Amino acid sequence: MNLKQGDTCVDGTLGGGGHSREILDRIGPNGHLIGLDRDPLAVEDTETRISDDNATLISSNYADLPEILKELEIPTIDSALLDLGLSSDQLAARDRGFSFNSDGPLDLRFNMMHGEPAFKLLNRLREKPLADLIYQYGEEKLSRRIARKIVKYRHSTKVVTADHLARIVRSCYPKTYKQRTDPATRTFQALRIAVNEELKWLGNALKRYPDCLAPGGRFVVISFHSLEDRMVKHAFAQDDRLKVLTSKPIMASEEELDVNPRSRSAKLRIAERV
């Protein structure tokens, strides 16, 4: 982000406030941080840890940044960060369904006040649309087998909890399957993307953020799956307002992987406003 004392910066995916805390330490008391998150519970919780006078934390969709800056009377910013992964707090919440082992409802919404929870979508869709969704958003090769089995289970009982869905998906894989990621990962990803319209909002942000940046300002995005990374890569490369600073995405080092295994699939790309 090329952070400097006095910068005005945006953390568009506040989460637990880890990035925001580091940003505040680097921009100093004369800088200004705007932290956004679609999850009002994340903002409420982070406000207990970040109470700096120069931090403005708002529950809002990160794609609404231009309107937020206008309301705050801030003409341009020096850098913006989007970390598109889940926060540890979301994974730990049993009533949200982000964890495969949760016996709570399969909700998966970032803002539980808006939209349709994943378990309702899962039990509403017919077999083919469900398989198409899992394949399109999860890039899951066994999507048809998984959708068929989910529909079969629905004849006797609705699939409502995260652990129930995870067990169904795992049963579709051969016992010889060995991967570092859980077999349920791609199906959960697909449902989460669908109920939160994640690719839609990312696309909007990629179009809107460059006009919010001052010349030389940086736009940094951390993605966690190929759908997001391709969108960021192409948007950066095709935007005349931006100069790409990462010909290839920055990946976690072996040292970081040892202490932070969740960074395994993270890809970081940087562009600069010209």
- Where are the chain's structural domains? 8-83+198-273, 93-196
pLDDT value, residue 274: 97
The CATH code of domain 93-196 reads 1.10.150.170
**Tokens standing for residue 33:** 């941080």
Q: pTM of the entire structure?
A: 0.91
**Which H helix or E strand runs over 27?**
helix 18-27
pLDDT value, residue 103: 83
Rounded-to-integer distance, Cα 110 and Cα 43, Å: 12
Nearest Cα residue to 14 out of 93, 98, 85: 85
pLDDT value, residue 88: 62
Burial 185-217 (b: 16+ CB within 10 A, else e): bbbbbbbbbbbbebeebbebbbeebbebbeeeb
How far is C-alpha 258 from the chain's CA centre?
22
Domains 8-83+198-273 and 93-196 share a fold: no
Rounded-to-integer distance, Cα 207 and Cα 274, Å: 15
pLDDT value, residue 270: 98
The CATH code of domain 8-83+198-273 reads 3.40.50.150
Residue spans of the chain under pLDDT 70: 87-95
How far is C-alpha 232 from the chain's CA centre?
13
pLDDT in tens, 28-75: 999 999 999 999 988 999 999 998 999 999 999 999 999 999 999 999
